């Protein structure tokens, strides 16, 4: 009986219908295949199904992997890729968390520094009226290293424009690379000092030998006033 069921599965024959006549394996059909014919050895259909189904299942298992394996490999590859993406996402989230913590720390440090700077500014503003020159000397190395605050304060106080006062020198590019301290010498020479003229080979005259008397009372008042304007600008007092 097992042989008959195996032959049915191997030839692709259909199992008998429930309630039909039973079959025997002693008949050859017209195609030369061994078939099942009616015989005396009848057995219940349920018993045949119990025998036939395992053989068909084994046949499916033998033929199935050739098609199922590629799908299984693709599924495993997709799962591995998903795990790798999850790992990368977790690492990026952790890095973002660290960056957020560092940013909060920097913001707290900046807030603290701003508060300290504001307190220092108020203290210097209160001290400045007693001696603006001393306060400017204290602030200048860090807050006015090139002297442009003091130079612009001198422009405001004297009303002198160094570029208009020395147009030839300006056209020749004398002032392009000068610092505020160097420009201040030219401004003071025009406003409260003196200078000489020198003729170039091209025939134009340019200023030279800039002179400013810094020992007089006039200069001390002038310097105190421009220091006051510069300090007020640096400390945002006005």
pLDDT string in tens for the chain (238-residue length) = 444 544 444 444 445 444 444 444 444 444 444 444 444 445 555 555 655 565 555 555 555 555 556 778 888 888 888 889 999 999 999 999 999 999 999 999 888 888 877 777 777 777 778 889 998 998 899 899 999 999 999 999 999 999 999 999 999 999 999 999 999 999 999 999 999 999 999 899 999 999 999 999 999 999 999 999 999 998 887 6
Which residues have C-beta within 8 Å of that of residue 139, sequence separation ≥ 6? 124, 231, 234, 235
In tens, the pLDDT along 3-28 reads 454 444 444 444 544 444 444 444 44
Q: What is the pLDDT of residue 8?
A: 46
Dig out the tokens for 180 from the structure: 């505020």
Extract long-range pairs of 207-216: CB within 8 Å, 24+ residues apart. Answer: 207/166, 207/169, 210/185, 210/186, 212/185, 212/188
Largest CA distance in the chain: 145
In tens, the pLDDT along 207-219 reads 999 999 999 999 9
Dig out the tokens for 58 from the structure: 């084994």
Rounded-to-integer distance, Cα 227 and Cα 91, Å: 56
CB 23 within 8 A of CB 38: yes
Displacement of CA 93 from its chain's centroid (Å): 14
100-103-104 Cα angle (round to 5):
90
What is the residue whose two structure tokens read 């960056």?
Answer: 99
Which of 160, 178, 181 minimizes the C-alpha distance to 169?
Answer: 178
| pTM, 2 dp | 0.54
Determine phi and psi for 217, rounding to 5 degrees: -65, -35
First to last CA, the chain: 112
Q: What is the pLDDT of residue 113?
A: 83
Rounded-to-integer distance, Cα 23 and Cα 198, Å: 134
């Amino acid at each position: 009986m097992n042989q008959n069921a195996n032959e049915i599965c191997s030839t692709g024959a259909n199992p008998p219908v429930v309630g039909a006549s039973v079959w025997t394996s002693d008949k050859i059909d017209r195609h030369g295949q061994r078939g099942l014919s009616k015989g005396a050895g009848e057995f219940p259909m349920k018993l045949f199904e119990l025998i036939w189904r395992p053989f068909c299942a084994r046949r499916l298992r033998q033929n199935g992997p050739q098609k199922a394996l590629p799908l299984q490999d693709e599924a495993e590859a997709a799962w591995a890729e998903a795990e790798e993406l999850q790992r990368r996402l977790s690492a990026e989230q952790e890095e973002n968390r660290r960056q957020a913590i560092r940013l909060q720390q920097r913001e707290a440090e900046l807030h603290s520094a701003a508060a300290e700077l504001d307190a220092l500014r108020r203290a210097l503003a209160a001290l400045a009226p007693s001696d603006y020159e001393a306060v400017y000397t204290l602030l200048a190395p860090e807050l006015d290293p090139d002297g442009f605050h003091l130079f612009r304060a001198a422009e405001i106080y004297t009303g002198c424009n160094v570029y208009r006062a020395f147009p030839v020198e300006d056209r020749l590019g004398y002032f392009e690379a000068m610092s505020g301290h160097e420009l201040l010498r030219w401004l003071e020479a025009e406003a409260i000092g003196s200078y000489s003229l020198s003729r170039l080979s091209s025939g134009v005259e340019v200023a030279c030998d800039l002179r400013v008397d810094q020992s007089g009372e006039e200069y001390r008042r002038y310097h105190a006033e421009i220091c006051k304007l510069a300090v007020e600008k640096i400390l945002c007092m006005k």
